[in-house]
């Protein structure tokens, strides 16, 4: 039973890492972030997105494909028009990952502030001793 639980847990961790990798890869491109912003306002066809970002249909299809693989966008083809909209999943896991590192860096900077304050205090004390 413990082996099965370990395998399931390992699979879940790998799934989350893969999902984070796909999300951050998708979000690493300014055009794809712009597409998400546009789709946050309203659904749009690939043609409309391509025109908005002044790129070819092929280029926009590739961007939308990356976003779709990450689960950030979904598309639906009706006739000859492929309409894009925001995907169903949010970025909760990505935000949680970022938050953990933000807290880590905040703690490190707090410790650095303490060191700097201690050095300043010692510098003041040493300066007084030299004047006496």
Q: What percent of the chain has pLDDT over 90?
A: 58
Average pLDDT, stretch 20-43? 95
Two tokens at 45?
A: 């066809």
Spatial separation of the C-alpha atoms in residues 59 and 56, rounded to whole Å: 5
Average pLDDT, stretch 43-62? 97
Residue of higher predicted confidence among 6 and 61: 61
DSSP type of residue 76? E
Spatial separation of the C-alpha atoms in residues 119 and 126, rounded to whole Å: 10
| Fold designation for 2-86 | Arc Repressor Mutant, subunit A (1.10.10)
**Is the pLDDT score of 44 beyond 90?**
yes
Confidence of residue 16 (pLDDT cuts 50, 70, 90): low
The domain spans of the chain are 2-86, 91-132
Residue 77 three-state SS: strand
DSSP type of residue 59? H
DSSP type of residue 43? -
């Amino acid at each position: 039973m413990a082996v099965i639980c370990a395998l399931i847990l390992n699979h879940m961790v790998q799934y989350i890492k893969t999902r984070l990798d796909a999300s951050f890869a998708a979000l690493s491109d300014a055009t794809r972030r712009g597409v998400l912003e546009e789709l946050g306002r309203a659904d749009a066809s690939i043609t409309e997105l391509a025109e908005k970002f002044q790129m070819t249909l092929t280029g926009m299809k590739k961007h939308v494909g990356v976003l779709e693989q990450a689960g950030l966008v979904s598309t639906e083809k009706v006739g000859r028009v492929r309409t894009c909209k925001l995907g169903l999943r949010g970025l909760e896991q990505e935000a949680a990952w970022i938050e953990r590192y933000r807290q880590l860096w905040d703690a490190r900077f707090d410790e650095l502030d303490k060191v700097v304050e201690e050095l300043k205090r010692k510098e003041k004390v040493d300066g007084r001793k030299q004047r006496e």
